Amino acid sequence: MQTGNRLFDDLARMAGGALSTLGALREEIEARVRERVERLAVDLDLVTREEFEAVREMAVKAREEQERLAARVAELEQRLAARMAELEERLAALEAEPAKPRARARRGWAAGEAGEEDAG
């Protein structure tokens, strides 16, 4: 029976050696695939996660600023419309009043120009 045990021992040793070789081969394949993917990412001009997150954060801030400015513009437009309505009401009221003669300032004596008549 000793022969059978040696056979199993040899098979176990061979299997262990094959597994360690396969493990090393697996690590080598992973390293090469990772290298190829990184090179492909550089060739395609892809961004890193950090660069992507930085640009994403900038976009979020820009969006918030745009929304804030849009709200401010809406508020200003509303105030302008209210002011325009007020001015239109005042203009309509002024146009509805009868015309009053205005006193004209005389040139000449009032202006200190003795002897000249009012040309206007």
pLDDT in tens, 25-39: 888 999 999 999 888
Query: Which has the higher per-residue pLDDT, 82 or 22?
Result: 82
pTM: 0.45
CA distance readout (Å), 39 to 28, 35, 53: 17, 6, 21
Check pLDDT > 50 for residue 1: no
Query: Which has the higher per-residue pLDDT, 112 or 12?
Result: 12
Query: Which has the higher per-residue pLDDT, 104 or 35?
Result: 35
Same domain flag for 3 and 42: yes
Check pLDDT > 80 for residue 107: no
What is the span of the domain harbouring residue 30? 1-46
The answer to whether residue 111 is domain-embedded is no
Asked if 85 and 69 touch (Cβ cutoff 8 Å), the reply is no
Same domain flag for 36 and 60: no
Amino acid identity at 61: K
